[in-house]
Structure 1
């Protein structure tokens, strides 16, 4: 595989685990609307990484798309409010690894999340100064493969790789025509990858040695 000029990272399940905070944001909105619902961590684990429309179809099947998305937007507003204090668990090696990798590569974060979530993660993990740019689904409601090419065009990237933890990440990376790097410690699983790492330290060591 050609040495990449840039590393584009998924966020949830790849760089951190904030599922407990995400569940809390859903439940606060359910309470606000007096909805007899309660989302637990396990309910979210199998849908992490889905874009907003698909996510609401799974979690809120009783509502039409318009109402489902209205609730989704409310949830994300609450999420932006509570993440700075509730945060999440940054995976071992991520903070130091990103700092090291940024000395050799342009580093990006691309996620199927709402606008404003990635910067909150970067601040929580103390890596904002080491990430060149970010891209969220909420910016344009477009799939990851499209947004990968937006980053490539914007920054003149010639040989990026996408690093993620789910089969959906693999599928989107293949559509974009890029190499997919799988991290097995996250939320999903796939057999479709160019390389696999079982921890972030191994990933960092590999790319720093190229």
Structure 2
């Protein structure tokens, strides 16, 4: 793999773990609406990286599409406040590593989350000066391969790589025509990758020394 001109990162399972906060946001809204449902960490962890429309189909099969969308909007609204309050768990070496990488590459975050969540994460983690741009699925409801290409076109990227933690991330990278870097400490598994790292610091060391 040739040296990239930029690094595009997935967020959940790659840079941090906020599944407990995400689950709490669902359960708060269900309680407020009088819906007798509880979402556990284990259930939600299996859905990390999925597009929202798939998540709400799985979590709320008893409701029609419009009701699911209505509840999901409430959850995401509540999530904005909860991320500021509760945050998540930043993986070891992420903040320090991003500082090192930002000296060598433009850094981007692209996730299948709702609109505004990446910005919440950036502010919570204190990495605003390190991230050149971000794009969430909730902005245009398009798949990752489409949004990768949008970032490439917007910023004139010729040879980016996508860093993620699921087989879906790999598939979308292939569809976008760029290399996929798999990190094994996240939520998914795959054997289809160009590079694999077992911790964030190893990834940083590799790309910082290319």
3-state SS in 2 of match to 1:110: strand
Partner of 1:95: 95
Structure 1 distance, partners of 2:176, 2:91, is: 27
Structure 1 distance, partners of 2:136, 2:65, is: 20
Of the structure 1 ranges 194-203 and 59-68, higher mean CA displacement relative to structure 2 is found in 59-68
* Equivalences for residues 1-210 of structure 1 within 5 A: 1-210=1-210
Q: CA deviation at 1:28?
A: 0.6
Q: CA deviation at 1:157?
A: 0.1
Structure 2 distance, partners of 1:65, 1:146, is: 24
Q: CA deviation at 1:125?
A: 1.6
In the superposition, the TM-score normalised over structure 1's length comes to 0.99
Size of the aligned set, in residue pairs, is 210
3-state SS in 1 of match to 2:79: helix
Deviations for 1:122-163, whole angstroms, at most 9, x for unmatched residues? 122221110000000010000100000000000000000000
3-state SS in 1 of match to 2:162: strand
Contact 1:14 1:186 in 2 (8 A): yes
In the superposition, the TM-score normalised over structure 2's length comes to 0.99
Q: Provide structure 2 residue ranges, at least 5 long, that are not aligned to the other structure.
A: none
Q: CA deviation at 1:169?
A: 0.7
Structure 2 distance, partners of 1:65, 1:150, is: 28
Structure 1 distance, partners of 2:170, 2:180, is: 6
Structure 1 distance, partners of 2:194, 2:74, is: 38
Q: CA deviation at 1:66?
A: 1.7
Q: CA deviation at 1:121?
A: 0.8
Structure 2 distance, partners of 1:145, 1:36, is: 37
Q: CA deviation at 1:205?
A: 0.3
Instruction: Report runs of 4+ in structure 1 exceeding 4 Å deviation.
Output: none
Q: CA deviation at 1:89?
A: 0.3
Structure 2 distance, partners of 1:8, 1:65, is: 32
Q: Provide structure 1 residue ranges, at least 5 long, that are not aligned to the other structure.
A: none
Contact 1:52 1:69 in 2 (8 A): no
3-state SS in 2 of match to 1:163: strand
